Every structure is written in C-alpha cells, then in structure tokens.
C-alpha cells in the first residue's frame, strides 16, 4: 500500500469516528420539547457545522478515490440497474375491450 492510500483510509476512519462521537453527544443530550437543552446554542451550531464539514470531506474523498457511494447499503445479490416491468390491463382502453 502506498502512504497516500494509508493516509486516506486513516483520514476516513478519523472522520467516521468524529462524526460518530458528535452524533452520540447529540443523542445523549437530547431533551424533550419544552425543556432547556444542556448545550448552548453556539455549541449546537458548532456541532452542526462540524458534521457538515465532515460529510463534505467524506464526499470529496469518495470522489477522489473514484468510488461510487449511494449513501445506502446494498445486498450483494441486489440488481444495480433499473428494472422495467410492463403491466398489462388496468388502462381505459383495456376496460372498453372487456365490455
């Protein structure tokens, strides 16, 4: 492995871990509506800004690597292309023919 590949994977691991910690803090400090949040508004906005930066950098790394990321997991045997299914019947013209 080249050092560039190692640093990219290390950077991706760091980004993923920091994103996880920030979202865990958000989940752990969630308060019901009407209650005062323990974090200040500026801290919450800073957390949002950090998450935006992390997501942007992750997208840049994916684009640099040439990998396609749809953002959702896929099954190994799931078709990757579109499947076109023709339906018969149900149209107005078909209903007239049946009468």
- Asked whether residue 93 is assigned to any structural domain, the reply reads no
- Asked whether residue 55 is assigned to any structural domain, the reply reads yes
Q: What DSSP letter does each residue of 47-66 carry, written as one string?
A: HHHHHHHHHHHHHHHHHHHT
The residue range of the domain holding 56 is 3-65
- Asked whether residue 19 is assigned to any structural domain, the reply reads yes
Asked if the model's pLDDT at residue 97 lies above 70, the reply is no
Q: Measure the CA–CA gap between 12 and 63, rounded to whole angstroms.
A: 13
How high is the pLDDT of residue 87?
A: 84
pTM of the model: 0.59
How high is the pLDDT of residue 92?
A: 63
- Asked whether residue 88 is assigned to any structural domain, the reply reads no
Number of domains in the chain: 1
Exposure string over 47-84, b if 16+ CB within 10 A, otherwise e: beeeeeebeeebeebeeeeeeeeeeeeeeeeeeeeeee
Asked if the model's pLDDT at residue 1 lies above 50, the reply is no
Model confidence at 89, in pLDDT bands (50, 70, 90)? confident
- Asked whether residue 72 is assigned to any structural domain, the reply reads no
How high is the pLDDT of residue 90?
A: 65
The tens digit of pLDDT for each residue in 27-84 reads 999 999 999 999 999 999 999 999 999 999 998 888 887 665 556 677 777 777 777 7
The tens digit of pLDDT for each residue in 2-27 reads 455 555 678 889 999 999 999 999 99
Q: Measure the CA–CA gap between 8 and 64, rounded to whole angstroms.
A: 10
- Asked whether residue 40 is assigned to any structural domain, the reply reads yes
- Asked whether residue 12 is assigned to any structural domain, the reply reads yes
Cβ contacts of 12 within 8 Å, gap of 6 or more: 58, 61
- Asked whether residue 79 is assigned to any structural domain, the reply reads no
């Amino acid at each position: 492995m080249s050092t560039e590949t190692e640093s990219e994977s290390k950077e991706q691991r760091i980004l993923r871990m920091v994103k996880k910690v920030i979202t865990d803090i958000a989940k752990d400090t969630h308060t019901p509506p009407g209650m005062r949040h323990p974090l200040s508004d500026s801290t919450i906005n800073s957390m949002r800004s950090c998450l935006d930066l992390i997501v942007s950098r992750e997208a840049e790394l994916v684009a640099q690597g040439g990998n396609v990321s749809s953002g959702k997991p896929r099954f190994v045997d799931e078709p990757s292309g579109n499947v076109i299914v023709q339906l018969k019947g149900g149209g107005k013209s078909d209903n007239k023919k049946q009468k």
